[in-house]
Structure 1
Amino acid sequence: MKVMAVAAVPLAALTAVVVAQAGTQEQAGTRAAAQAPVRYVKATVDLAAASSGSGSARYVLDDRRGTRWSANGTGQWLRLDLGTSQRVSLVKLAFHQGNTRRTRFDLQTSADGKTWRKVWSGRSSGTTLGPQTFDTTDVTARYVRYLGRDQVNAITEAEVHVPARAAKRLSLGADGRLVNVPYPNQDQIPDFSRAGYGGGGVALPTVPVRRTVTPPAGGKDAGAAIQSAIDAVSGLAPDAAGFRGAVLLKKGTYNISGQVLIRTGGVVLRGEGDGSKGTVLRATGTSDRTLIKVAGSGQRAETPGSRRPISGSYIPVGARSLNVSDASAFNVGDNVVVVRTPNQEWIDSIGMDACKTKGTAYDTSDVAGQTCLNTVAWTPASRTIHYERRVTAKSDNRISLDSPVVEAFQAKFGGGAVYAYGFPGRIAKVGVENLRAVSSYASNTDEKHAGYAVNMGNVEHAWVRNVTSLHFIQGTFFAGPGARYVTVQDSASLDHKSQITGGRRYPFSVNGASHVLVMRVYASTGRHDFVTGANTPGPNVFLDSRAEKSNSELGPHHRWATGSLFDNVVHNSTTGKKNIGTYNRADLGTGHGWSGAYQVFYNCLGDTHKLSSPPGARNWSIGCRGTTKKGTGEYDAFGGPVAPWSLYLQQLRDRLGTQALRNIGY
């Protein structure tokens, strides 16, 4: 029995873990005083495969006990590929009907997927639907295989746990809270925990149904009927929580030749399942459009006379407070924008100036594609980024903010300012859930059909859950300017139909939005599967998600996205060589340049991990793995996962407690 400190369970700093050994269960919480505990952490799995079965093998990796892999017959197997060799120590399995049925099986490991070694044999407990821990013989391996010894094999979740590596910047303290070590200039990895609906850690609501729509007979277009129901609910008075009601689309197929639009807050569009037999919205016709659009009106407007310059020569990344020249314009509770106002000196210093032009004193060397751009040079106006925050405290001319700044502000490079704003046209509390969206198409490369399933802009405290899309040009979800505090969860983007080239197949895209949490999602056949666009202001989080059969890179795409966290993200590409990371893309795409700054890749797994840091800024890789490592970014504990398992979940727990994790499904 292993002596351990548990870092793999996101919910709590547990004092005991049930370890199953030789068919029995033992308590592994008692630690020998003289033996230092070892932290075990869940290792991200590259791919899952199986001998056969009614459910896809990938379902055992989706953190959803409502899905499963199942196969009947002795000798059926489920194989987990860790992507790289790891010291396998524990395996956790959750069984369908595991509270009433005991399952007999072996656990095997392999270095090459061909020669297998048995490391455990016995039965499950038959007492729980939750994960059961099986203490295996420690062995270095890349593959772990379940081999069934009964007629029924049904697994809802599978995990492999390995000893956690030690990271320099982040660790768990004796009290179970995160230790975040600052740099000498006080830079530190930002807190991302306010991303998501309600500012993080808030359960998505179940809103009462106010209108019901059934599929029209004969396959007639259903767009007008659905829009009429949405408009009717939009006209209802909101309740005390701000919700007007849900439109329920009953099971069946709804042909829609146009677009469904939600323009009023408090409205939810709900189906009866995202499977092929649930609620299916079929985007018919040959127009490239979003099928379901959620959009408020207008744009954010600066309050006249409220702008105040930021004081001080350097505001470190991760800071929660800053000084302004005169804080009398702001009160606690005010919505404000912290705006970074770069100058030409900054652009020259990071090498995003024109190669043909001699710039400021910082323009010391022009090497095309490295220290200057031959295509479209950056300008100060084009890289001005606006961060929405709320004032939480004020003392003299110092204000505190709800979310930290996610990039450093330097006076010599233009500094920044704070201003109050209004956004009367932004709507709130809108949801799209429990449905399947399918686009019609003429061929695998056809581009005269629907682009996105769901597009959200000018909306806050919104969500997309249990939505699967198929055959769209782009994919399932796009968050645009004006969107914030949005959660996308338990959704999928599958089998895209388009040319495989630039500007296509962005399955889950955050472009100009902030405080977006994308978690437990799956993409297949995309290009830039989990992606941010130019000037996208953080914090934004991609958590516990998988991209398979990817045709291109994963990470920020272009032009200085800031403050993104890629947390336990898997990127499996078609060539086995595509990048996960962030770096200087130089003249690609007419001047992409530095794709991102202050990006964090945490316990991620990909083919090629490419990470570089812009001059004067930082990008981090912590606990990540890949077959190839490139770039000069800040790599920490490369080659194996670190504790805690998830940075976002740990930060959320430290701020709000374990109930916040339960609220979002962990």
Structure 2
Amino acid sequence: MTAALFALTPVASPAQGAPSTTAAPRVNWLGMNGDKLAYGRDAQGNRVPDYSYAGYRGGGVPLPAVPARVTVPAPSGQDDTAALQQAIDTASALPPDAQGFRGAVRLGPGRYRIGGTLRVTASGVVIRGSGGATVLAADGARSRTLITFGAKSSYGVVGTPARVTDDYVPVGSGTLTLSSTAGLSVGDAVVVERPTTQAWIDAIGMKGIFTPDWSLRFERRITAISGNRITLDIPLTNALEQQYTQATVYRYTFPRISQVGLENLSADGGAMTAAPDYSSTFYNAALWEFNAVEDSWVSNVVANRFGGAGQTALGPQSRRVSVLRTQMLDMVTTDSSARSNAYLLQGQQNLVQDCRVTATKVHAFTTYGRQAGPNVFSRCTAELVQTTYDSGGHQRWGSGTLYDQLRVDGTLLLVNNGTRGSGHGWSDANSTAYNCVTEGYRIQGPPTAHNWSFGCTGTLLDNSDGEVVSPGKPVLPASLYDQQLADRTS
């Protein structure tokens, strides 16, 4: 059957606004071939990334039901930090079962006051409430994170890195030619490292904004080796360009905890808003943070009156974490010129799905940059009261983010932020806005990469010189993430 593809729409109708007069090459980027997606490619072979690998255990895997092993006493009416931490430590000392779970720490109904920060540092430990009747409440007028999962970690190179010898590896490719495959085997976990160089910074117009002191590190697994060619389990979300950088592949160590979770409860950060310095520290008033953590989750959690920089702070070292069916309500920020973030994705293969935020003056769904992707926001709603604000990448080349079926009372911006803030520059690259409902959206195309929108509604803002498909008219399938996941797993 011939693939029926959506055609690129380089010029919107007047009612939708007009993109830049510089038209991109006409490419039929996406469509359906029978019941599966078909992909178009540009002249270099780049395509819309496969974002379906985001989520717990690589996407499409149901969250486990972990047996409760430790029960927390009823709330004391005083600071319960010590009692809760003791329960977490007790569970952490239990032997893991065959699936790697030590057990759930079960909290009963009531309001547990937390004067400090709870820390989960062992794999296989889940904090579980009894539904909305269980409340974790900040106690004390001091901005902080109430729960942290994992510690900081660092990459360790194993063996000698092999150079990628291809002149160009396009977005969406998972096959690389190396200088040598000696020491590599099928099944090895590897990093594909793409260093940032001054030559590339100059090519994308970020001289004086970006600095060549960071890399994109794609964590992948080798599925096949043929001579000096390897195949990876997950395609890349950024091109590897020999003219700008020398990418390498190596086996690695990166200590993380896994199989940890937070579920079935609510939280209240209101006490922190009384901090005398709240106007400058509200960024720190957060419910949780994931550090070096993988294959973990948050589900069925409602948070009220927090203000932090990422109520769902999935940090740059997190991987394959799902945040499902959550709400961040009535966020309390200030009139600072900088804004807080409601849902913040970093790391790689992370998923936020079926979420809701109500707030004023926030970045509702955003990334911090320098993440390798893929990462996904899907079926989330932002109801920004009093003052509308934005969603989209915040800074520094966040590669491979999908904004899927978002409803935003504000703008969705996949753009070059230039010298704004601390010098944010290009904030999204190879990212996609798909069937999003907005007040307005701007899609800009970075040099050496693409940004796409398909079927988004709202005013198409000026200077939208990215790949804009079907502006003002939703497309099928309804969800890109769901369809890509079905294509891969069926």
TM over 0.5, shorter chain: yes
Partner of 2:217: 386
Q: Does 1:640 align with 2:473?
A: yes
Question: Is 1:548 paired with 2:395?
Answer: no
Aligned to 2:340: 505
Post-superposition CA distance 1:562-620 (Å, at most 9, x none): 000011011103xxxxx302111111012111111101111111111111111121110
Look up the SS of the partner of 1:333 in the other structure.
coil
2:444 — aligned with what?
612
Q: What is the match of residue 155 of structure 2?
A: 300
Residue correspondences, number: 459
Note the C-alpha offset of 1:504: 4.1
The DSSP-based 3-state class of the residue aligned with 1:380 is: coil
C-alpha contact 2:433 2:456 (8 A) present in aligned 1: yes
SS in 1 for 2:119: strand
Deviations 1:457-511 (A, max 9, x none): 1011000001111111125310112210100010011111121435542111113
1:627 aligned onto 2:459 = yes
| Aligned counterpart, 2:84 | 226
Matches within 5 A, 1:118-129: none
Which residue number corresponds to residue 465 of structure 1? 299
| Counterpart Cα distance in 2 of 1:444 and 1:598 | 42
Hey, what's the Cα distance between the residues in 2 that align with 1:173 and 1:524?
A: 39
Other-structure match for 2:426: 594
Deviation at 1:335, TM superposition (A): 1.1
The reply on whether 1:435 has 2:265 as its aligned counterpart is: yes
Higher RCO structure, 1 or 2 (CA under 8 Å, sep 6+): 2
The amino acid across from 1:493 in the alignment is M
Mapping for residues 421-570 of structure 1, pairs under 5 Å: 421-423=252-254, 425-439=255-269, 440=271, 441-442=273-274, 446-447=278-279, 451-474=285-308, 476-511=311-346, 513-525=347-359, 527-549=362-384, 551-570=388-407
Tell me by how many angstroms 1:444 deviates: 12
- TM norm structure 2: 0.90
What is the CA distance between 1:540 and its match in structure 2?
0.2
Q: Distance in 2 between matches of 1:618 and 1:535?
A: 16
TM-score (norm 1): 0.67
**1:406 maps to 2:217:** no
1:617-657 deviation digits (Å, cap 9, x = unpaired): 11101111112433211101111111111111111111112
Secondary structure in 2 aligned to 1:413? coil
Tell me, in whole angstroms, the C-alpha distance in 2 between the residues paired with 1:498 and 1:518. Answer: 22
Query: In the TM superposition, what is the alpha-carbon distance from 1:203 to its structure 2 partner?
Result: 0.4
Please state how far the C-alpha of 1:306 moved relative to its aligned partner. Answer: 2.5
User: Is the Cα contact below 8 Å between 2:143 and 2:278 reproduced in 1?
Assistant: no
The whole-number CA distance in structure 1 between the counterparts of 2:153 and 2:416 is 34
Task: In structure 1, give the amino acid aligned to 2:487.
Answer: D
CA distance, structure 1, for counterparts of residue 323 and residue 419 of structure 2: 32
Question: 1:68-102 deviations in whole A, cap 9, x for unaligned?
Answer: xxxxxxxxxxxxxxxx99xxxxxxxxxxxxxxxxx
Given candidates 241, 259, 270, the residue that maps to 2:117 is 259
CA distance in 1, matches of 2:311, 2:401: 20
SS of residue in 2 equivalent to 1:224: helix
Please give the alpha-carbon distance, in whole angstroms, between the structure 2 residues aligned to 1:402 and 1:169: 22
Deviation at 1:415, TM superposition (A): 3.5
Q: State the alpha-carbon separation in 2 of the partners of residues 503 and 229 from structure 1.
A: 38
Whether 2:29 is the aligned partner of 1:169: answer yes
Matched, 1:182 2:41: yes
Q: Distance in 1 between matches of 2:160 and 2:294?
A: 23
**SS at the partner of 1:529?**
strand
1:651 maps to 2:484: yes
1:390 Cα deviation (Å)? Answer: 1.1
The 8 Å contact of residues 170 and 240 in structure 2, kept in 1 or not, is answered as: yes
State the AA in 2 paired with 1:298.
Answer: S
Paired with 2:331 and 2:196, the residues of 1 have a C-alpha distance of 38
Partner residue of 2:195?
341
RMSD (CA atoms): 2.1
Partner SS state of residue 191, structure 2? strand
Q: State the Cα distance separating 1:552 from its structure 2 match.
A: 2.3
Q: Residue by residue, what CA displacement relative to the aligned partner does 1:333-378 show, whole Å, maximum 9, x if unpaired? A: 1111111123222111111113xxxxxxxxxxxxxxxxxxxxxx32
**Is the partner of 2:57 in helix, strand or coil?**
helix
Q: Which runs of 5+ in 2 are unaligned?
A: 5-14, 17-26
Q: Which residue of 1 aligns with 2:409?
A: 572
Deviations 1:179-237 (A, max 9, x none): 112223211111111110011100001110111113333x1111110100010010000
> Among residues 320, 324, 331, which one is paired with 2:185 in the alignment?
331
Alpha-carbon separation, structure 1, partners of 2:235 and 2:449: 16
Larger Rg: 1
Cα shift at 1:445? 9.5
Task: Tell me, in whole angstroms, the C-alpha distance in 2 between the residues paired with 1:443 and 1:285.
Answer: 8
Distance 2:418 2:42 in 1: 28
Counterpart selection for 1:192 from 43, 47, 51: 51
Tell me if the contact between 1:468 and 1:476 (Cα under 8 Å) persists in the aligned partners: no
Aligned residue identity for 1:396: G
CA contact (8 A) 2:91 2:104 kept: yes
8 A Cα contact 1:341 1:415, kept in partner: yes
Residue identity in the other structure for 1:392: T
Cα deviations by residue, 1:121-171 (Å, 9 ceiling, x for unpaired): xxxxxxxxxxxxxxxxxxxxxxxxxxxxxxxxxxxxxxxxxxxxxx93211
Question: Given that residues 214 and 251 in structure 1 are in contact (C-alpha distance below 8 angstroms), is that contact kept between their aligned partners in structure 2?
Answer: no
1:402 and 1:649 mapped to 2: Cα distance? 19
Contact 2:113/2:136, CA 8 A, preserved across alignment:
yes
Task: Return the alpha-carbon distance in structure 2 between the equivalents of residues 489 and 269 of structure 1.
Answer: 15
SS at match of 1:589: coil
CA drift at 1:291:
0.4
Q: Find out whether 1:583 has 2:415 as its counterpart.
A: yes
